[in-house]
Structure 1
Amino acid sequence: MNDTMRLPAAPRWPGYAAAAWGFLFAVPSFYWAAGGLAGAESTIAPALVKLVRERDPGFITVLWVTGVLKVVGALLGLALIRDRAWRRGPNRLLQLMAWGAAVLLVWHGALFVVQGLLVETHVVGLDPELRPVSRWYTYVWGPWFVAGGVAFALAARAHVRRVADRRDATAAGVVGGVGALVLSVVALVAGIG
């Protein structure tokens, strides 16, 4: 397909929203990796705060890598709004990554919310000292992850409306989304993450 072919108009705001989400969410990762702890004790798990305070090399590396991955996600959001038509391969890769990110983020955030609501309704017990942190995960972190996932899903949908190879791109998106879901379920069952 050449660059002059007209494709249907699609909203750009979801791609910008996904990009903003990624850039904003990278800030805490870099801040904690650099040793910052202001506000961390009341907003993240005490075990994680301890790892940052002790400057655990493995965990600090994870924080830097996580921050970089969030920036990559932000760049993915921007790539999904690009005007110029992509060739087939990049469209499929963008859809695979966007739907994978969408599913992972919604799944992760939903787990935080569900676990937190089970604690709030006393279905699951939790040390009273951890309840304030649990509320952050339930009402802030969980919804934040879900919002990012929704932004990526909407950006992927808008992107696929602008591509000529919709069937291939959609198939790649399905593979990305299903793959992310399978990976998430396996990790949950295995007790990882």
Structure 2
Amino acid sequence: MTASQADGTAPRSDRTAWAGYGAAAWGFLFALPSFYWALGGTAGAATTISPSLVALVENRVTWFLVTLWVTGALKVVGGVLGLALVRRGRGTGMDRLLQFAAWGAGVLLLWHGGLFVANGLLVKPGDPGMTAEILQVLRWYTYLWGPWFMAGGLLFIAAARIHLRGLPGRRGAVIAGAIGGTGALGLSVAMTVMGIG
């Protein structure tokens, strides 16, 4: 028996680790476009993201470049979170933090992706102001970016649920996850109502 097996921090079996590894891969892969755009790359961006965002990258607008670096870093943190959820319990405080973060991230991603998909499905090609260029970008948001965010959200929630199963005395971790998820939902709804995001 190894030291990690004895103290309960050994990685979970492949059968239960898929969601954590999937969330990690999702976070690390999704960080790449943020860093690419922050460095000034725009290949493929003109047709897949909002033209106003592409213009911010092309014009090297400082606040937007900082935003891209920060979001890229947050996506890397999400990747690390996914890996952390694969490990068995590390202690009450850490397990609670992992549940809080995973449920918060999962709910935020599901909401954000769901809005992309819902908005895209509700728009009609003949709507006023709906140019061919906007429709093309809208399709990417509806059929790529929205589902991509939703897949990440589902992976984080699944990884949190699997992580929770292996915890002794789960009550505190359940409460932390509920606070993270509910807080993320409240924040998401408030931002939607205020027209942010």
| TM-score, length basis structure 1 | 0.93
Aligned residue number for residue 123 of structure 2: 119
Residues 124 and 142 (structure 1), Cα distance of their counterparts in 2 relative to 1, 3 Å cut = farther
User: Structure 2 stretches of 5 or more lacking a match?
Assistant: 1-5
Q: Is the 8 A contact 1:116 1:138 kept in 2?
A: yes
Matched, 1:147 2:178: no
Matched, 1:176 2:180: yes
Residues 4 and 68 (structure 1), Cα distance of their counterparts in 2 relative to 1, 3 Å cut = closer
What is the CA–CA distance in structure 2 between the aligned matches of 1:13 and 1:133, rounded to whole Å?
A: 32
> 56, 59, 63: which one pairs with 1:54?
59
Deviations 1:18-77 (A, max 9, x none): 000000000000000000000000000000000000000000000000000000000000
Matched, 1:159 2:163: yes
Aligned residue number for residue 135 of structure 1: 139
- 1:33 maps to amino acid: A
Q: Is the 8 A contact 1:86 1:163 kept in 2?
A: no
C-alpha RMSD of the superposition: 2.0
What is the CA–CA distance in structure 2 between the aligned matches of 1:124 and 1:3, rounded to whole Å?
A: 62
Aligned residue number for residue 68 of structure 2: 63
Q: Is the 8 A contact 1:30 1:64 kept in 2?
A: yes
Report the 3-state secondary structure (helix = DSSP H, G, I; strand = E; otherwise coil) of the residue aligned with 2:43: coil
User: Structure 1 stretches of 5 or more lacking a match?
Assistant: none
What is the CA–CA distance in structure 2 between the aligned matches of 1:134 and 1:98, rounded to whole Å?
A: 28
Report the 3-state secondary structure (helix = DSSP H, G, I; strand = E; otherwise coil) of the residue aligned with 2:86: coil
The CA deviation at 1:163 is: 1.0
What is the CA–CA distance in structure 1 between the aligned matches of 2:160 and 2:9, rounded to whole Å?
A: 20
Q: How many residues align?
A: 190
Residues 100 and 126 (structure 1), Cα distance of their counterparts in 2 relative to 1, 3 Å cut = same
What is the CA–CA distance in structure 2 between the aligned matches of 1:140 and 1:94, rounded to whole Å?
A: 28
Q: Is the 8 A contact 2:81 2:102 kept in 1?
A: yes
> 62, 86, 92: which one pairs with 1:88?
92
What is the CA–CA distance in structure 2 between the aligned matches of 1:124 and 1:145, rounded to whole Å?
A: 28
What is the CA–CA distance in structure 1 between the aligned matches of 2:31 and 2:158, rounded to whole Å?
A: 20
Q: Is the 8 A contact 1:118 1:124 kept in 2?
A: no
The CA deviation at 1:5 is: 9.8
Q: Is the 8 A contact 2:125 2:135 kept in 1?
A: no
